[in-house]
Structure 1
Amino acid sequence: MAEETKLKKVVVADKEVKAEKAAKVADPVGASIDIATQQMIRRAQELGIDTVFDRAEAMKPCNIGIQGTCCKNCSMGPCRLPLTKSAGDGPDERKGLCGASANTIAARNFIRMVAGGAAAHSDHGRGVAEVFMAVARGESHDYKIKDVNKLLAIAPHYGVETTVKTDDGQVLDRDVNEIALEVGQKALDEWGKAEGELCYLKRAPQPLYEKWKKAGVLPRNIDREIVEIMHRTHMGVDQDYKNLIKQGTRAALADGWGGSMIATDLQDVLFGTPYPLQSEANLGIMKEDHVNLIIHGHEPILSEMIVAAAQSQEMIDYAKTVGAKGIQLGGICCTGNEILQRHGVPPAGTFLQQELAIITGACDAMVVDIQCVMQNLANVAKCFHTKLITTHRIARMEQENVIHIEFDEHHAMEDAKRIVKMAIDNFQNRKAEVMIPRAKATQIAGFGVESIRYHLGGTFRGDYYTLNDNIINGRIRGIAGVVGCNNARTRHNENHITIVKELIKNDVIVLTTGCNGIACAMEGLLTPETAAVFCGPGLAEVCETVGIPPVLHMGSCVDNSRILLAATEVVKAGGLGNDISDLPAAGSAPEWMSEKAISIGQYFVASGFYTVFGVTFPTTGAPVFQDYLFHELEKIYGGMWDFEIDPIKHAHKMIAHIDKKRKALGIDKARERVLMDMADRMKLSA
């Protein structure tokens, strides 16, 4: 009888625990503004499958860690230094066991995030450079140089000659493979050369380069700056927050003007420079009667081959033998953006939607490479028939149901076809009811420095003068770079969309990358027709005349380097100052969550951009250090950080900064358009 009573108590307790767990699930409408996402959250909850949205409800963030003042860099810690209400009443006496101040701890943590982000992006770039070298050497026959003009354009930045002078004085074009081999070797050297500085730094406006030189932050090589952060932040080394952020700046610049920029350029040479194309976005791109293969991650080396394999007649015919009408590819995160901008492959969703793609029951395979891949994908895949395939040597999962096919560029197509065939073979194994949301939207993506020059300048002028003209005359108020991740600590996509809509309503043209680009596509903001609905009259007029969306999707996370170069082109076009910091421009990461975002933010700030982050900021527990980031950096680089949770206030902080820069340039009053004759145009070109 006692045992029975004991058993009843255990059962009751178990029910109470289950009831408690059941109560801690996300409200689908509160979790996301996107209808497809809401639908899939409900389905997951009905099936008893937990997602990131539910886990965010069940697990709250550490109040001290979120302030950036928890140090665990030695085993005497973690030392936790919470910011109390009385902390501002007198000198800040908080310190760790070793005596490290809150400012030191926050600065160390901050630049370690820079190191993590810079390492992720730059290692991506290194992988691309290694494949580039293999192609140049003729060792990888599945890839080839697709954009010779881009190769010739970047070669001079590495000091590589594109012509050769013969003994008799003739100037001849060098062999493309010779140029590629030399460019590839010099690009790889950027990660570890023993002396000098990064080649691409001088692509920046001269005044900006001189600021970096004066501040002593010119990166020497990519790996060294990341390693030095880890050394400086070891217990008992650098204990001056100003000196720490100086090294964080070096590493961030090595990312933005180094690893990321190299990755973007070499990818363009290998896979083709993006130009605008039409596609769709959201989970509704999946098709019940097709093999659905979702590609997720950040490195396009494998995904390029998967696209080629899936579009081959051989694989299409094979898919029909198992009863499928074809093969539907979809992307998640930045691998999705890479294959979107070059091939029109539609993204199925953002970072927070990766689990939901499997929960549709229609995902026959999900192929992942590196970065932003949730380990819980394996647990979700167990509930369905989905094959989850990891492909990178540095990114594996412990779960037994995960298949690892290590990708090798030397037999790239063979690996790609194996993966596509695995997805096709799995089509008939679907064991759950398929539920694909209908929600999807049309988008125009694939903008870059080259295509913006063409669309805004036309074949006649072919430059950024037209953009500058319209900023000067006030039709375009300014430029905003709105980028970055999703974060489960805020409502999915709400900050992204609210901020972008507020900016374009106030005539600010938006350049976007990463998950912000996907979010804007899902909302329907990436079509020219958007301008008439959401834009102020000036920006709407420009978009209608030129035929572009008010939000220009420029690619993946590493493609933030395109924004840096676009800003440089605006400076070169003239009339808006001599440096990036003079431009009526601002940056934003509304829903950031990744260390990569901190690295991106720091290189944007160090390049002269006012940069606002949302959701949270990892220095709020160290007010003195945060004030240095938010105010003092502007005196050094012309750019500074800011933080604002409220999306409307966030947007208006950016607009206020843009207006401040317009006033400094003397263009704060709108000007009427003047019809220019040929003589006037020739003066502009002089």
Structure 2
Amino acid sequence: MAEEKKKAKAPKLADPVASSIDVASQEMIARSHELGVETIFDRALTMKRCSIGVQGTCCKNCSMGPCRLPLPKGGIVGEDTRKGLCGATANTIAARNFIRMIAGGAAAHSDHGRGVAEVFLSVARKETDVYQVKDVDKLLAVAKDLGVATTVEVDGEELDRDLDEITLETAEVALAEWGKSEGELLYPKKAPKARYELWKKQGVLPRNIDREIVEIMHRTHIGVDMHYKNLMKQGTRAAIADGWGGSMLATDIQDIIFGTPYPVQSEANLGVMKEDHVNLIIHGHEPILSEVIVAVAQKQEMIDYAKSKGAKGIQLSGICCTANEMLQRHGIPLCGTFLQQELAIITGACDAMVVDIQCIMQNIADVAKCFHTKVITTHRIAQIEQDNVIHIEFDEHHALEDAERIVKMAIDNFENRGAEVMIPQHKAPIVAGFGVESTEYHLGGSFRGTYYTLNDNIINGRVRGVAGVVGCNNARTRHNNDHIKVVKELIKNDVLVLTTGCNAIACAMEGLLTPEAAAVHAGAGLAEVCETVGIPPVLHLGSCVDNSRILLAATEVVKAGGLGNDISEWPVAGSAPEWMSEKAISIGHYFVVSGVYTVVGVTFPTSGAPVFNDYICKDFENIYGGMWDFEPDPIKHAHKMIAHIDKKRKELGIDKARERVMMDFASRQAL
């Protein structure tokens, strides 16, 4: 008996099929078990989540706690008397926790934006020749939005201002948005006028990006703000500062210095890796270094160097949002989603994984110890403690040297591969790189680019509505299952889907990002529109900071007319089926307060405080026109969105499909 107790229990191992709907991932999970390599899928079985933390009612904001306020079985009967040691109620605790998640998410996105803005300022000051202004039209548009003059009056004549002057002033004004001492954030004025006026009336216009995040941390300190409604007011300010500030500035500045995306063809899934090539995987969210790595890896001298080491070339691919950034501008293939980062190393073919910030699992270092893979961290704020990780701190002033060193390190490591390489032979073709500008072009061409075409097809019923489906993967649900079920159900019901982040990668792997997918998966009306204008039923709009593109596309729809005066009036809904990070809460909240009904899956961190939960899931619609909702079942999740879209169609009086009418001359005169 004593001997039996001494025997270590066999670790629980994840069922590959139950863990993921993706065949390539299933193969790699099975291989991890054969090799004795632990992954997140295994840890999800052994690590149980905190039932009180999931409800949002555990407070650890001082050392008297943590104070745990579980929701009683059967719910609250009568008055809710639960309190922490300081007297904080469940509503206060849940609201504090919720807006701290907003602060964390807004900080992550906005710090990404700040980094890009700092590089932009270096470009403007001519301190680097690696980066330059690639999209002058976007520069001039951003300058206008930031109040920077693009013309100058000379002797009564208006002349174009020097481009270098415009660039420098635009960069300085943009960077000041993070910490200016007075005034308000400039970009919220890009929203529909009715939305901006609503924010002004509610007193939630952000002053600057950093201040709103810092104020959340102050308000949620013990003994400061103790009213869930007032706490959410500050959470709203910070979320707007993210979506209509840091994230939107990040997207616009990246377009200026890296180029505005237009549709490109590529491939997605682990099968994009090549056994006879150096496989260099870029992973994270900030594309500043990756842009240079792409350029360096395509140099003939680097390709020749790889051949000298026995490889046929260099295969770049990406994971998470750095992948989306490289895809939409260069066609670099997608290797996988957040939950596939360990699996990419388990192929045995990953010569180097280069990471920057956000969504990087510390365990990739442990997995890499079992293989030859070099893990290289590159950002000053994001290091990994394991001794097998190499840190090469990126500096935009030495970007070329850093990138060359990294690419050579990957090439040199090609010779160190083990005998067994197993790359799953699964990948899908994709078309990605849609944005506000390219979508406008697809809808109307070079001379007639307009969102009215989309509006017209929403009005006549061919397109039922639009959904933004975004967000991470979550190991607490089957990998990609909820993403794909929600999206397929939406497009089957004629809802055009706009996607970013890991949802975009999941859709890519499933083959939903090609125009041909419309004929297979979309309803008749949406399929007809997709075929006519040559677009997929699911439009890839980029990385998670690029959710700002969805906001701006929504604004363009409002401007085009016929569907109300605000985002909250037209048939649109948002979704994060497998959300995981604090960024998802910040994104979701800036969509909600922009007027979008937004549903999340897996879990929602307010269930332990019913009054607070009802406030953001019901009362918010009366204040902002948008609200949160929670539905873990993906089909029900999609149908909640469809029901909301139908409600908005009815309110607009377009709930009955209209047939096309050939316009004669008299009809046009009347119109």
- The answer to whether the aligner puts 1:574 opposite 2:554 as a matched pair is no
**Aligned 1:64-463 pairs, distance under 5 A:** 64-167=52-155, 169-463=156-450
* Contact 1:457–1:467 under 8 Å retained in 2: no
Identity over the aligned pairs, expressed in percent? 78
Long gaps (5+) in structure 2? none
How many angstroms does 1:680 deviate by? 7.2
**Aligned 1:36-47 pairs, distance under 5 A:** 36-47=24-35
Distance 1:57 1:682 in 2: 68
Render the CA deviation track for 1:26-76: whole Å, top value 9, x for unaligned: 100000000000000000011111000000011111000000000000000
1:681–1:395 Cα change, 3 Å: farther
Distance 1:315 1:176 in 2: 35
SS at match of 1:416: helix
Render the CA deviation track for 1:139-186: whole Å, top value 9, x for unaligned: 01101110001101111111111111112x232222222111111100
Render the CA deviation track for 1:203-244: whole Å, top value 9, x for unaligned: 000110011011100000000000000000000100000000
1:89–1:432 Cα change, 3 Å: farther
Distance 1:229 1:208 in 2: 23
SS at match of 1:467: helix
Structure 1 partner of 2:476: 489
- The answer to whether the aligner puts 1:509 opposite 2:501 as a matched pair is no
Residue 453 of structure 2, aligned match among 463, 466, 480 = 466
* Count of equivalent residues: 671
Distance 2:306 2:605 in 1: 49
1:14–1:330 Cα change, 3 Å: farther
- The answer to whether the aligner puts 1:651 opposite 2:642 as a matched pair is no
1:539–1:421 Cα change, 3 Å: same
Question: Structure 2 length normalisation: TM-score?
Answer: 0.99
Distance 2:214 2:447 in 1: 48
Residue 549 of structure 2, aligned match among 562, 565, 568 = 562
Q: Which amino acid aligns with 2:69?
A: L
Distance 1:681 1:418 in 2: 64
Distance 2:75 2:487 in 1: 36
Q: Which amino acid aligns with 1:603?
A: Y
- The answer to whether the aligner puts 1:626 opposite 2:628 as a matched pair is no
456-465 or 568-577, which moves further after superposition?
Answer: 456-465
SS at match of 2:76: helix
Q: Which amino acid aligns with 2:9?
A: K
Structure 2 partner of 1:18: 9
Question: Structure 1 length normalisation: TM-score?
Answer: 0.97
Distance 1:219 1:392 in 2: 28
How many angstroms does 1:85 deviate by? 2.0
Q: Which amino acid aligns with 1:518?
A: I
* Contact 1:384–1:432 under 8 Å retained in 2: no
**Aligned 1:515-594 pairs, distance under 5 A:** 515-594=502-581
SS at match of 2:317: strand
Render the CA deviation track for 1:598-627: whole Å, top value 9, x for unaligned: 000000000000000000000000010000
Alpha carbon RMSD of aligned pairs, Å? 1.2
Structure 2 partner of 1:3: none
Distance 1:680 1:343 in 2: 46
Distance 2:624 2:668 in 1: 33
Distance 1:334 1:220 in 2: 28
SS at match of 1:533: helix
* Contact 1:278–1:445 under 8 Å retained in 2: yes
SS at match of 1:373: coil
1:317–1:680 Cα change, 3 Å: farther
Q: Which amino acid aligns with 1:61?
A: R
How many angstroms does 1:676 deviate by? 4.0
SS at match of 2:311: coil
Render the CA deviation track for 1:289-345: whole Å, top value 9, x for unaligned: 000000000000000000000011111111010010000001000000000000000
How many angstroms does 1:284 deviate by? 0.2
SS at match of 1:88: coil
Deviant stretches of 4+, over 6 Å: 677-684
Residue 601 of structure 1, aligned match among 585, 588, 607 = 588
Q: Which amino acid aligns with 1:406?
A: E
Distance 1:567 1:70 in 2: 37
Render the CA deviation track for 1:623-682: whole Å, top value 9, x for unaligned: 100000011111111100000000000000000000000000000000011234689789
178-187 or 560-569, which moves further after superposition?
Answer: 178-187
How many angstroms does 1:86 deviate by? 4.0
How many angstroms does 1:14 deviate by? 4.2
Distance 1:216 1:230 in 2: 19
* Contact 1:389–1:405 under 8 Å retained in 2: yes
Q: Which amino acid aligns with 2:494?
A: D
Render the CA deviation track for 1:355-391: whole Å, top value 9, x for unaligned: 0000000000000000000000100000000010000
Distance 1:107 1:432 in 2: 54
